[in-house]
Amino acid sequence: MSGYFSDLYTGAKSLLSGMAVTFKAFMAPTVTVHYPREKIDVTPNIRGPLTLIKDPETGTHRCISCNRCAMECPSSCIDLKGEKQEGVKGKVLVKYVYDYTTCSLCGNCVDVCPVTALDFSSEYELASVSKEDFYFDLLKEVQETP
Amino acid sequence: MEELIQILTRTLVYAIAMITFGFFNAMIMGYLERKIAAKIQRRPGPMEVGPYGILQLVVDGVKLVSKQIVIPRDADGVLFRIAPLLSFAPVVLPFIVVPFSKSLQARDFNLGLLFIVTIASINVLTIVVAGWGSNNKYSLFGAMRSVAQNISFEVPVLLSILCIAMMTGTYSMQGIVEAQDGIWFVFLQPVAFIIYFVAGLAETNRNPFDLPEAESELTAGYHTEYAGFAFSLFMIAEYANMFLVSSIATVLFLGGWHGIPLPFFEYTGALWFLAKVYILMVIMVWIRWTFPRVRFDQLLNFSWKYLIPFSLANLLLTVILIKLIPLVKEMI
């Protein structure tokens, strides 16, 4: 019998304080982001698929076709080709195909690049039903982006 | 002959209106429940179908109707099929005496309150039928729990109803509402109201007393084996039971359709009635998303150790006061 009324009192009090907690949560703004319509900023450190950096001075990429990234790559997912062209000093990049399906985003290519031509993008909305969509043509990409 | 036609039309209109209302109520409450749950968990809730997801429950309904009802091989075919239909009887019948407003009531007979209580207890039977007919251990356990729970919680419900019946001297729903013209009974009988509301939560198998359908222990309790429309009938019946418990609470304690007078009050009193009922139901939803489920011994202890003694004491006090107040008045 001892504690009969004190149990009732503490029980009722804790029930009411529980309801106050949920009421506060009910009035508080929602924290869920409505993804397709609302997006939050991603960290700049995100390792998205590779891109060739567009140099703001020249308006094009900085790649010198040295092939170091392709050699460094542990999964050989970079396929690039440079050509000697007349009147131009050094090699000109004519092909830079990057196979995202095998890339492990280790970052060796970005580190090894002598001219900092490569970087990770912050793209994260990648989904496709076909494998071919993940063979990115980075050269075309850098030429087409405004 | 003319009278017969009149009775038949009345019955038909009533049945159609009440079944429609049952479905509609389940849709509103389903939506409210999901939205309130979401807000309490700080999510937006359904947002995709229609503005703010208001059509979500329509889509869910269509999905459930289009699903096949699978009957387990070893289930009792007849009972299994009857149970969801039977669960609908206590949905439609008690609304005969529920006074939505002064004129919006199918029938006001002088045993209305007893009628509701009687019909509402069919609900337990349907749960047992469903649990037994499914031939599934989870279902049977859910049904057994439901019976134990309802037996222990029907007593405080009836005792607190009895307080009001004694004060008004009538079982007629309309009579009880009219007796609250001056003051609502919740102010005269707060203990009875709390006991009724708590026990009513248990009667409707709502959280924190939802042991018959405890997901973590019994998958879904008595409706484990039900899919598609049979399942949705159970859900509709659950929400209609909530409505019923809340509407009895409104009639007994919150003054029924009494409120600030509106034009055509004979009919528009229903707005006050519905507002009170839905506030009570929202509180039920709020309680559901706040408290964890009680253990079975806690559930029975709570009923036998707290609710029943308190409602008995309250009844005794009511009786004494009913006898005493006229005597005191006479002396003065």
Cβ of residue B41 closer than 8 Å to a chain A Cβ: yes
Cβ atoms of residues B316 and B192 within 8 Å: no
Q: Residue B267 above 80 pLDDT?
A: no
User: Best-predicted range by mean pLDDT among B57-71, B195-209, B306-320?
Assistant: B306-320
The answer to whether the pTM exceeds 0.80 is no
* Residue A21 to residue B290, Cβ atoms within 8 A: yes
Inter-chain contacts counted by CB atoms under 8 A, chains A and B: 36
* Cβ within 8 Å of residue A76, ≥6 positions away: A70, A102
H or E, element range at B63: helix B56-65
| Closest in A19, A28, A29 to B290, CB measured | A19
Q: pLDDT, tens digit, for every residue of B10-55?
A: 888 888 888 888 888 888 888 888 888 888 888 888 888 878 888 8
The partner residues of A95 in beta bridges, in order of sequence, read A81
A29 touches chain B (CB under 8 A): yes
Average pLDDT over residues B174-184: 81
Q: Say what the pLDDT of residue A85 is.
A: 81
Query: A16: how many CB neighbours lie within 10 A of its CB?
Result: 10
Mean pLDDT of chain B: 83
pLDDT of A146 > 80? The answer is no
The string of pLDDT tens digits covering residues B130-168 is 888 888 888 888 888 888 888 888 888 888 888 888 888
Nearest CB among A18, A21, A28 relative to B42 is that of: A28
pLDDT band at A34 (very low <50, low <70, confident <90, very high): confident
> Average of pLDDT values for A78-99?
84
Residue B114: pLDDT band (50, 70, 90) is confident
CA distance B34 to chain A (A): 12
The confidence score (pLDDT) of residue A117 equals 85
- Residue B306 is nearest to which of A8, A29, A34, comparing CB atoms? A8
Nearest to A32 among B36, B42, B305 (CB): B42
Buried b (16+ CB within 10 A) or exposed e, B229-263: bbbbbbbbbbbbbbbbbbbbbbbbbbbbbbbeeee
- Is the four-CA dihedral B263, B264, B266, B268 of positive or negative sign? negative
The DSSP string of B83-137 is HHHHTTHHHHSGGGS--SSSS--S---TTHHHHHHHHHTHHHHHHHHHHHHTT-H
Query: Which of A4, A32, A35, A37 has the most B C-beta neighbours within 10 Å, making it the best mutation to test the interface with B?
Result: A32
Per-residue pLDDT band for A1 (boundaries 50, 70, 90) equals low
Say yes or no for a CB contact (<8 Å) between B286 and A23.
Answer: yes
Percent of the residues in chain A that have a pLDDT greater than 90, as a whole number = 1
- Return the closest-CA partner of residue A99 out of A47, A45, A50: A50
Q: What is the pLDDT of residues A42-74, one digit of tens each?
A: 888 888 888 888 888 887 888 888 888 888 889
Rounded mean pLDDT of B272-276? Answer: 86
To test the contact with chain A by mutation, choose from B48, B290, B298, B303 the residue with the greatest count of A C-beta atoms within 10 A, namely: B290
Mean pLDDT, to the nearest integer, of A79-84?
85
Which residues in chain B have their CB less than 8 angstroms from residue A26's CB?
Answer: 36, 39-40, 286
Chain segment B17-26, per-residue pLDDT in tens: 888 888 888 8
Q: Is B304 on the interface with A (CB under 8 A)?
A: no
Residue B307's closest chain A neighbor by CA?
A8
Mean pLDDT of chain A: 85
Closest residue on chain A to B46 (Cα): A34
The CB density around residue B198, as the number of other CB atoms within 10 Å, is 21
